[in-house]
Amino acid sequence: MDNEKLIHDWLVTYFKQKLSRDYKEININLDGEKKSEFKGHYPDLILGNHGMVLAVMEVETEKSITPEKTDEWKALAGLGVKLIIMIPNAARAKVVDLLWKKGIADKVSVGSYEINVKMP
């Protein structure tokens, strides 16, 4: 299994569990899956309460952050709900630059994550 896919899928399930306090209805699409749809799109997480979708979330890894990916983000940002993008902490400057170039920096919430491994 590809390490990027493994990290992506683990993060999606982690965020589902972590966000379950705030959102009672969370549907997920692991890498390459199209199980849960929202307005013709398949974001990584669809977050809702009381039958209403409040936000969608995309989880990105170092390799998945590309200029082409911003087209997908722009489409998701135009769906009428909050778009949250979770990115590696080291990629923050790159992603903010891509969002400004695409004209959607004001429509997207950007969160970051960092995986630390400390060896003895």
DSSP 59: E
pLDDT tens figures, 38-60: 999 999 999 999 999 999 999 99
Quote the domain boundaries for residue 40: 3-113
Q: What is the mean pLDDT of the chain?
A: 94
Q: What is the rounded distance in angstroms from the CA atom of residue 103 to the CA atom of residue 94?
A: 14
Q: How many domains does the chain have?
A: 1
Instruction: Tell me the whole-structure pTM to 2 decimals.
Output: 0.91
In a domain, 63, yes or no: yes
Query: Angle at the Cα of 43 (from 62 to 31), degrees rounded to 5?
Result: 55
Q: What is the rounded distance in angstroms from the CA atom of residue 63 to the CA atom of residue 75?
A: 20
In a domain, 119, yes or no: no
pLDDT tens figures, 10-33: 999 999 999 999 999 999 999 888
37 Cβ neighbours under 8 A, 6+ residues apart: none
